[in-house]
Structure 1
Amino acid sequence: MSADVFNLTPPLVPAGKPGDLLLAGQSLCASLSPLDNSLAVFVTHAASAQPGRRPPGEEQPIYFSGIDAVPSSERRLFITDTLVIFAAFQNLIKTSRARDPAWIQSEQNLTVMRKLAIDYVNFIKECWIHASQPAPRPDGPLQFSGDHYRSLYTCFSLFVVLYLPEPGYEEAPVGEELMEWLNIHFIEPSTEEGDHLSSLKSPWEDESFWTYLTRATLRGLSKASVFFFKMLSGHRSEDLQQLAETMASIVDSQPRLQNFAAERDFAYASRRWKEKVKAIRVDMDQIPEDERDDGFDNWWDRLSDIVGILEGRGEIVQRVCGELGADWKEVCAAWGVFVDTRLRRQDLPDVVGRVLDDMPPDPTNFEDMVHTALFAGKPVDALLHASSLDRWLSAHLADIMEPLTLIDSTAPDEIAIRDQHILAYAEYLHSDPALWRITVDYMYSCGDVGKERGDELLIRVPLRLDKTPISHSGDEGKIRAGNIVGVLRDVNQTCFDYRREAARRTVCRIAAQTLVREKDYGLAVSYCSSAEDWQGLGRVVDQVLDEYIISGPTSFAHYASDIAPSLQNLSAQHPSSQGVFVHRLMFAVRYSNFQQLRVKHDLQNAALDLVAMFRDDVAPKSWWAVMLYDAVDLLQHRSALLFSASAAAELLGKLEEICTRSSQGSGGDYLDILARTIRGGGHKEALARLNTVRLALARYFARSAVLSV
């Protein structure tokens, strides 16, 4: 798919006719999903559309497409397991920098960094072996082939060889390590070839004999080389027999750096060994021209190439590698083993540049391009090619490169190189919403941009607080019991771990809104309190009070009893938050207690509570009319006078204030809620009900007067 062409199935317009959309007065739009990094592609009306081209009620399809493929089971295992190493690396950097600004110079830290990098290599190797197992697979086809993980394996292990040597060996010759890396990852010659030749009585008569022997010698496979040189003792040429015996001794005695305690001793041994190689060249030059061919091949030319390699003649090494079908990597490795045995890591780019002029890398092979950049000492280019190969690779390489100062760690006007690759990998992880924990781990390891993206992701994680049954989980019941579990607990814990208090409060506000919709008002108040969202708390209380209007006093008392424990907690935990919103919560709790007393027929205490709410100035003026109407039954109680004279006067004073202010145009402040309890009623009907209260008070005062006489 090109940048400006969408191949949709089923197609919206015939192939090759995208202009038909415009003729129909429509255009194509796309919208990013807030849950993951998928796209919704749909048709909408163009700005310049002429009406009437399409039927107004015609349905148009919506196409959903992911920017990245969602990780499959085996890929998800790879992601989650390597996160453990990534987290350990972050912890190392954090603790080391806190102790000592020059922490990278510590041999102990470099040793740990090397170990963690090798852990990456070993784990990639295990994934490669697993992915290379023959089908069928119980978990379905692989998302990434075994060859893909092999490419990651070669790249990461090469990075360790070149940029994370053992502490103290930074200035040591690198040729033998490169050859070992080459032999591990790019096996040549094959074992099958060696088994075939060793089974022959006269292997030199096989056309692959000298190719195999040359390759084995070039790769430093001394045991195989010595074995076949000794087999030449049966060759009919006595000259070759003698030369082969000497060659076997020379190849077997080639000095190896690992066998010397000091590089100086290794260099001295290498010079003496080269003198032996020069001596065999002298012996070869004395062999007549007509004795150099055995009827199957010109053995002298073949042996001369091998001797030229041992002599360290760069042009012969490069020519022979080309003839053998080897690439530039083999030339560079052989250069450090034969041509310049003291080749340092910092000198390798010069050799690579010279070799690449004649043997360029394959620009279509991202693995080869990563190798090229690492050999050439261009870590930034290596990351770019690694990103094309697998964003996992570029992210984890960049994470190690930054503390090693291989890439810039500061970028005043833009995102640092390391953070760019980490965030790109995190965006890939975002294709699977279930991986949100891992995604934010990577995002929060970056700078301010990463933290902002992590916050945005966290506040969009589905909390699953609705009452829809959750399969394979008993968390829903625990949430109803007041425990923070499941996704909400994990999100809160992540916010605490990374000190993202603003994000945590936002998540709590979102949880509270969800719980309000589910009428779990007690938990909703708790989360508003945790988020210190006092306006949200006020909205929850208003919703609870609305239950009185919608469902009646009994339902209201039930819901309000759930928020009662929160009132005490608020007073204890947030003593400075006793504002208008907490005051409203207090009213809801006390008003629900009043309604419960009425239900229990504890009318004396109900009357006392009602008057106390007025006297303590707990009740909002908007609820005075409702409360006075609730007092009618108490005023008309036949068995006893439930109110004292002063209490009844208090009620009368509130009634007079309502009527007076309503006549002055402020009826909305006093009558709206009472009017809502009357189906189809307004202020007029509300005042009519208050006349009932006035009548009940008049009768109450009359009864009180008679009883007092």
Structure 2
Amino acid sequence: MASDRIHLTPPIIDKNGVTKWRERNRTVNCTFSPRANSLAVYQSANILPQPIGTPASGKQETKIYFAQWDAVPSTRRKFITDTSIVYDALRRGLNLLRAKDARPVDPQFLMQTHFESCKLYLDIIRKTLKTYDARLEKRPEDEELLHDKDLLEVMYSCMSLLQVIFLPFHGFLAAVVGRELMHWLNENYVTPTGEDGMGLLELEEPWLHPTFWNFIKTCTIRLIFRPVTHFLKRMASAHTNPATREMADLIVTTLDQMPSSEDYEQESDYFDSLRAWKTGHHRLTRARERHAKSLYEGKAEMEDITNLITGKTGTLVRMCTECGMSWREAICVFGIWVHPRMTRHDLPSIASEVIEEMPVDPTDPEELLQAALFQKDIVKAASHANDVDIWLVAHMMDILESLSLPEASVVSRLQKYYIITYAEQLMSDPSMWRIAIAYLSYCGIRGMGVANELLLRLPFRIANIDLPANHKYPDSLTVFVGKQTLPMAELDDILETCRRHGLKQAEETIVRVVAQKLSALRLYGKAIEYLARTLDVRALMKVLQLLSNEYLVHGAHDFVLLVDQIPSRYLYPSGQESPDFLRFTDHLHFVITYAEYHHDLSRGIRSPSLATSLALLLDPSRVDAPKEWWGLLLVDIGDLLVDDTLMSVPADDMNIILARLEEVYTKSRLGGGGEYLGALMKRYEMKSVTEALQRLESVRFILVHSAARSMLSEVGGKGRLWGGNQTPDAD
């Protein structure tokens, strides 16, 4: 029962410590878990300002109380998993069928499909109950198991009743339903027991036992004819009263000849046999009238059985009451004794008539739910099923939602509401997140929204990750990678679930968060791999910016190692990418080319091709390098060409380099230094644009010198421009 009080054990405050506790400006606070239906209650400082002179409480130990609501019973995990597979298969199949054909799905096919699904649910409940029985043999005092077993038995009886009323195995709602209801009744509510009959068998004259006639009437009402005919045959042959013998013999003959609808392929044949059987009732009624004034053994009871056979409604209700039966039994046998032609369409009116005579127990959710099902009141049935168990109402409404019911629009809303509620309850067990998402993904826009929210709150870890060595990372980051013992979901499992159920928004957000964490761990290659799945160009460009910044902060060695983690496949577009993604590949080409340049330098390779590779990054026809890097690239080219023993750079490449130098220098002097010189100033820790421009002046001189050497080389000149005694050869 819900309560507005929480009782903490042991108490958070001592019995006599309330005043002192208030003087210290303490209060009780609580924090809700973002990942499960739980909260933590603890004491903390009051949010109100503390009075002047109040000593600071400082660090101190405090009790933390944990509580959980809507907890999933640990005993039911396998049951939940097994039934979720049935639900997912049913919904996936229906969605595929509707997507394939725009026409409405055949109602008969829908009924058969849902009958099979309901049958699977019932099979799973039966198997679970058998498992519970085996466990209870070893742990008979397990209260949680006993309680859940009782719930499952109620769920089985109610789900099987829904199957009988709304999902006939033969697919015909207009067929007679009496025998099917009797099978349901005898399967779920066994009475009388075998022990009752065995006790009477041992008696020489069982009809003298006080429970005999109650046993006979109960078995007759519930069509358990074998013990009835056995005892009445003994009575007909051994009793001393001729009236008793005649009545018993006629009842046995009549019951033996009673036709069953299950023995006929055509209902018309059954109705013909039923009419023929009823014509034989006159022998029984005449015998009753003939002995009406006589006193004989079992007179009142056999007259009741005669009235029952002839279909007297009042007798049926009275006999059910006298035999300790409820309205439930009366409705089921109504279609046998009073109205043999009763169909499912007749059930609501007949159920209302019986319930008026035999009221339902208003304190029993099982009875209330079954009464609503008999009356086909879907809204009431949903409310009472929710009182029994959230699993029951969710799956009942899911089955009814696809059927052609008059309340289809209402049932559809109820189905989505209860499925979402059930999925949210599953999240009280973090290991059930996949199942919860599967349920939510079939609940339209609202369900998808809730699924996105649940996935975003789900803690995860990234498997198969090796952190870069010689670098200290905070625990708040390292907890997300490697093999952890914490109860976290695997990232790849989460992303696969997103793709499976079309949760694109959650996938993009999760990948973006993952990329931020991986980037903070300097795992840029992995970050790019995950972001490429969702083609999040903005986040990809951010990762490349952080990766480029590694060179500016930590130098070429770390930069080269980090770039080497990036899979090369992203350099080669397939031709189906968007223009935005191609912008990313261009930027990636710059990063990799620049890393290769520094890798070659570290190996002592210095050639004009290195300058050419940097020049191509500045080529106006492609411009892979960001503008803020142009100044740094020009300085790198200058540092490379300062070695006058290096062969000359081709004229076309030199023209590109000089053009970029003039652009950078001119625009930086006019106030655009931040746009062109950012990387240069950060890499060399320059404090002003003037300092950067002075560095570019030296680069200009080196480039002019290199260009001059190139021109001399092209006209056949030899020697050096300065620093030597050689002069160019004369023509």
**CA 1:24–1:213 in structure 2 vs 1: closer, same or farther (change >3 Å)?**
farther
Cα separation, 1, equivalents of 2:109 and 2:664: 80
Q: Relative to structure 1, is the Cα distance of residues 636 and 404 closer, same or farther in structure 2, using a 3 angstrom cutoff?
A: closer
SS of match in other structure, 2:565:
helix
TM-score by length of 2: 0.82
Partners of 1:211 and 1:639 in 2: CA distance: 119
Unaligned runs of 5+ in 1: 293-298, 479-485
Q: 1:21 to 1:224 in 2, by over 3 A?
A: farther
Unaligned runs of 5+ in 2: 468-479, 484-488, 710-719
Q: Is the 8 A contact 1:204 1:210 kept in 2?
A: yes
2:549 corresponds to: 546
Q: Select 2:722's aligned residue among 690, 694, 705.
A: 705
What is the CA-CA distance between 1:581 and the residue it aligns to? 4.7
**1:441 and 2:447 equivalent?**
no
Q: What letter corresponds to residue 452 of structure 1 in structure 2?
A: G
Deviations 1:363-414 (A, max 9, x none): 3322221111111221221111111211111111111212223363436xx9
Amino acid at match of 2:358: M
- Following TM superposition, by how much is the alpha carbon of 1:155 offset from its aligned partner in structure 2, in angstroms? 0.5
Partner of 1:416: 413
Letter in 1 for 2:305: I
Contact 1:652 1:697 in 2 (8 A): no
Question: Counterparts of 2:595 and 2:499 in 1: how far apart (Å)?
Answer: 36
Of 192, 197, 211 in structure 2, the residue corresponding to residue 194 of structure 1 is 197
Distance 1:578 1:706, change over 3 A: farther
> Which residue of structure 2 aligns with residue 690 of structure 1?
695
Distance 1:372 1:20 in 2: 58
| Alignment of 1:383 onto 2:382 | yes
Question: C-alpha distance in 2, partners of 1:10/1:689?
Answer: 74
Equivalent residue, structure 2, for 1:482: none
- 1:287 alignment counterpart: 294
Contact 1:509 1:531 in 2 (8 A): no
Equivalent runs, 1:410-489 vs 2, <5 Å: 410=409, 416-465=413-462, 487-489=490-492
Matches of 1:507 and 1:327 in 2, distance apart?
56
Residues 551-584 of structure 1, C-alpha deviations (whole Å, 9 max, x = no match): 3201101111333615423474426226765443
- Of residues 606, 610, 623, the one that matches 2:629 is 623
Is 1:301 the counterpart of 2:300? The answer is yes
What is residue 8 of structure 2 aligned with on the other side? 8
Residue in structure 2 matched with residue 79 of structure 1 by the alignment: 80
Asked if structure 1 preserves the Cα contact closer than 8 Å seen for 2:181 and 2:332, the reply is: yes
Checking the alignment, whether the CA contact within 8 Å between 2:658 and 2:703 is kept in structure 1 is no
Contact 2:463-2:491 at 8 Å conserved across structures? no
Q: Distance in 2 between matches of 1:16 and 1:468?
A: 55
Which deviates more, 545-554 or 10-19?
Answer: 10-19
Q: Which of 537, 542, 557 is matched with 1:534 structurally?
A: 537
- How far apart are 1:347 and its partner, in Å? 2.4
1:324 corresponds in structure 2 to 323
**Take 1:346 and 1:163, find their aligned partners in 2: how far apart are those partners?**
10
The alpha carbon displacement at 1:265 in A equals: 0.9
Contact 1:225 1:251 in 2 (8 A): no
Assess if the C-alpha contact under 8 Å between 2:307 and 2:315 holds in 1: yes
Native 8 Å contact 2:112 2:171 kept in 1:
no
- Residue 309 of structure 1: CA displacement? 2.7
Question: Structure 2: how far apart are the matches of 1:433 and 1:215?
Answer: 50
Q: Name whichever of 589-598 and 629-638 sits farther off.
A: 629-638
Q: Which residue of 2 aligns with 1:149?
A: 152
Question: In the aligned structure 2, how far is the partner of 1:108 from the partner of 1:648?
Answer: 76
Pick closer, same or farther for the CA change 1:327–1:25 going to 2, 3 Å.
farther
Equivalent residues of 2:250, 2:284 under 8 A apart: no
Deviations 1:274-328 (A, max 9, x none): 334323422441423xx55xxxxxx333333333333332223222322222111
1:254 and 2:258 aligned: yes
Q: CA deviation at 1:40?
A: 4.5
- The alpha carbon displacement at 1:35 in A equals 2.8
Q: Take 1:92 and 1:632, find their aligned partners in 2: how far apart are those partners?
A: 67
Q: Which moved more, 1:501-510 or 1:441-450?
A: 501-510
Residues 16, 451 of structure 1: CA spacing in aligned structure 2 closer, same or farther, 3 A cutoff? farther
Aligned residues: 684
Report how far residue 415 of structure 1 moved.
7.4
- Contact 2:30/2:41 (<8 A) preserved: yes
Determine helix, strand or coil for the equivalent of 2:67: strand
Aligned with 2:341: secondary structure?
Answer: coil
TM-score, normalised via structure 1 length: 0.84
Equivalent residue, structure 1, for 2:640: 634
The 1:158–1:560 alpha-carbon spacing in structure 2 relative to 1, beyond 3 Å, is same
Residues 254, 281 of structure 2: 8 Å contact kept: no
Q: Distance in 1 between matches of 2:16 and 2:379?
A: 41
Distance 2:576 2:653 in 1: 35
CA distance in 1 between counterparts of 2:94 and 2:689 reads 73
In structure 2, the CA distance between the partners of 1:237 and 1:267, relative to structure 1 (3 Å rule), is closer
Partner Cα distance (1:466, 1:677) in 2: 35
Partner of 1:585: 588
CA contact (8 A) 1:463 1:511 kept: no
Identity percentage of aligned residues: 28
Is 2:133 the counterpart of 1:132?
A: yes
Match of 2:138, SS state, is coil
Q: Do residues 118 (structure 1) and 125 (structure 2) align? A: no
